[in-house]
Structure 1
Amino acid sequence: MDEVKEVLRRAAALGPYFAVSTDPDEEVDPTWRPLPETDPERLDGLIDQYAQRLGTGDRRVAASILFQGVASRLWSPVVASAALGVVPDLASLHWRWAPGAPIALWLADPTGWPASPARAIETVVDGQLRPLRDTMAKVVKLADGLIWGNVASALAGTLYAARTSPDLAATLVPFVQDLLALPPLATAGELTPRGYVRRSCCLYYKVPPGGEMCGDCALLHRS
Structure 2
Amino acid sequence: MNTAEVARVLGEVALLGPYFEIGAGGAEGPGWRPLPESESERLAQVVADYGERLGTGEGRVAASIFFQGLASRLWSPVVAAAARGVVPDLAGLRWRWAPGESVGLRLAEPRGWGVEGPSEAADLIHPMVVDKQLRPLHEVLSSFVGLADGLVWGNAASALAGSLNVGPADSARAAIVRLLLAREPLAGAGSFGADGFVRHNCCLYYRVPGGGMCGDCGLR
Provide the TM-score with structure 1 as the length reference. Answer: 0.91
Please list every run of 5 or more consecutive structure 2 residues that lacks an aligned counterpart in the other structure: 116-120
- Quote how far apart the aligned CAs of 1:9 are: 1.3
Partner residue in 1 for 2:183: 182
1:168-205 C-alpha deviation (Å, 9 max, x unpaired): x1211111111111111111111112111111110000
- Percent identity among equivalent residues? 55
Partner residue in 2 for 1:192: 193
Partner residue in 1 for 2:152: 147
Partner SS state of residue 101, structure 2: coil
| Counterpart pick for 2:141 among 136, 145, 150 | 136
How many angstroms apart in 1 are the aligned matches of 2:99 and 2:204?
19
Partner residue in 2 for 1:127: 132
Partner SS state of residue 73, structure 1: helix
Partner residue in 2 for 1:55: 55
Please list every run of 5 or more consecutive structure 1 residues that lacks an aligned counterpart in the other structure: none
| Counterpart pick for 1:20 among 7, 22, 31 | 22
Partner residue in 2 for 1:165: 168
- Quote how far apart the aligned CAs of 1:99 are: 4.2
How many angstroms apart in 2 are the aligned matches of 1:219 and 1:173?
25
- Quote how far apart the aligned CAs of 1:97 are: 2.1
TM alignment of 1:81-96, pairs within 5 A: 81-96=81-96
- Please provide the CA RMSD for this pair: 1.3
How many angstroms apart in 1 are the aligned matches of 2:86 and 2:155?
24
- Quote how far apart the aligned CAs of 1:155 are: 0.3
CA contact (8 A) 2:89 2:112 kept: yes
How many angstroms apart in 1 are the aligned matches of 2:208 and 2:98?
19
How many angstroms apart in 1 are the aligned matches of 2:209 and 2:196?
26
How many residue pairs get aligned? The number is 213
Partner SS state of residue 201, structure 2: coil
Partner SS state of residue 119, structure 1: helix
CA contact (8 A) 1:53 1:99 kept: no
